[in-house]
Amino acid sequence: MKKWISILTSVIAVSVFASCWSAAASGADGSAEVKEGIDYLVLVNKLHGLPDGWENRLETVTLTNSVGDDVEVEAKAYDAYEQLRTDLEENDGIFIELDSARRTIAEQQEIMESFIEQYGAEYAAKTVAQPGLSEHHTGLALDLYFKLKNDDGGFTDIYYNDDMVQYPEIWEKIHAKLADYGFILRYLEGKEHITGYGYEPWHIRYIDDAEAAKDIMAQEGMTLEVWLGAVTDTDPEIDFGSSSLYTEEQLKEAAVRIKCDFANWEGCELHSLRYAGDACSSEENLDWLNSLDEKAGYTRAAEFLMDFHSPAEPYGAWEKDSEYKDYQMWLGLTKDGEWEIVTWGY
């Protein structure tokens, strides 16, 4: 969630939120009143909303980055970011900048409404975090970009997602130092069914505890959700089989799309996901998917089969504590080459 948000939010005035979360204030009767602090281990994702009163307890600062955008960030997270930035510049020759950090619920609502107006409610619901369910509301989630030093001493901003992923060696060095300053990498490759988001090397999260951050970062594939005990970790088997219609990269994108959606299935545990084969992409199936959404205009159809375990307690349409085998997930490929989940079930 990067550049399209930056473009939309550049027209939104960013205010400096200066409420003190730990200092004493004068109450109505003249007595000292201490404001409650924030929980730096707060979990905000597709299933856990921003706690009530968070915005009233938050202290933030605002900076202007190298491309002229104002970025608001929680005060302690900003101090830690500055230490990380200095370390990387002085010791690694890496120059990082903040692309985005805090977005208010009201700003997220404006983004949602803009997407609904431009692309429709269904697309907006699949693309934009629901107001109140974005980790960026906390002020503790930071999206980075970096600058490359030119031969003339100037800099080139490496700002767009497609460009930034071309430098894995730079991200490796950045990630190696996150925990020293109380940060973790938030959205890991292969853990989309837990976090609800694809791999984002630029999205880091401040937790204000270097030792806890080191513990999380030292465990391969460890997510904040699992570390906090909010969900049970699984390492699902992914099988793309063989296909003459789709590349492995296309099938991987489809699987990530399914896994990101699966994160909304509260209490479910994903065990396996596999491509059902090219036969599923028949003209008959394509016509069927397009009949479910006449405006979609899908160009191809694909079926994946999923094995998962339902929650221990009754939830939605699932039988409790049950194993579901060969559960169908049907996707359509849009004219823009994007996968959309169209329908699912037996």
Does residue 340 have an active-site annotation? no
In Å, how far are 7, 67, 70, 121, 342 from 117, measured between CA atoms?
16, 27, 25, 8, 21
Residue 203 half-sphere exposure toward CB, CA atoms < 13 A? 20
Considering 55, 135, 192, 200, which one is annotated as catalytic? 200
The answer to whether 136 and 205 have CB atoms below 8 angstroms apart is no
Pairing, β 323-333 against β 339-345: antiparallel
In Å, how far are 200, 246, 328 from 258, measured between CA atoms?
17, 16, 11
Pairing, β 269-275 against β 300-309: antiparallel
The answer to whether 260 and 45 have CB atoms below 8 angstroms apart is no
- Nearest CA to 55 out of 10, 18, 87 is that of 18
The answer to whether 346 and 324 have CB atoms below 8 angstroms apart is no
Query: What span, in angstroms and rounded, lies between the C-alpha atoms of 145 and 164?
Result: 7
Residues designated as active site: 200
